Amino acid sequence: MLGKFNSFIEKWMAFVTPVCLLTGVFFPDIAKHGVPYVTYAFAFMTFVGALKSRFRDVADVFKRPLPLILMLLVLHALVPMIACGLGHLLFPGNANYITGMVLEFSVPTAVISLMWVSIYNGNSPLSLSLVVIDTILAPFLIPAALKILVGSSVKMDTMG
């Protein structure tokens, strides 16, 4: 039964995702009841996505790291620079919007990307490696992007 449900959801994911988003936007009082379960849902999706990868597959990603390195460069150099440029173009002189745009596009790769990669039979070990490495590097990459692109300093209590 779960296999049939999963096949249905995968087939209609491009429709289900916007419907869920709109439900949350238009009916926040109903949607807020699901908030406590979000962490568990993402943990489950990561676990299921990881089940499709063997340790050897993940190790192979690091034997040929060029795709992983290129993805990190695109995600943490190119995309934040484009966001910063668009911020200056669309909101000239508004440091808060520009900083927000850079911050939004500097965050680590979302776990949800692993779900999409799994649905469309992409490279799950590469996606899993990206999510893990990106999450580990985030405390360094986000402040660096903000410092370089908008001149903001971010202080983090790393020991806490």
DSSP string, 90-105: HSTT-HHHHHHHHHHT
Q: Rounded distance, CA 33 to CA 130, Å?
A: 31
> What pTM does this model have?
0.70
How far CA 49 is from CA of 43, 75, 126, 150, 152, in Å, comes to 10, 21, 11, 36, 36
How far is the C-alpha of 95 from the C-alpha of 150, rounded, in Å?
A: 8
Q: Let me know if domain 2-150 sits in CATH 1.20.1530.20.
A: yes
The 10s digit of each residue's pLDDT in 94-141 is 999 999 999 888 888 777 787 778 777 888 888 888 888 988 888 888
pLDDT of 50-72, one tens digit each?
777 788 888 888 999 999 999 99
pLDDT confidence of residue 131: 86
Q: Domain coordinates of the chain in residue numbers?
A: 2-150
- Tell me, what DSSP letter sits at residue 108? P
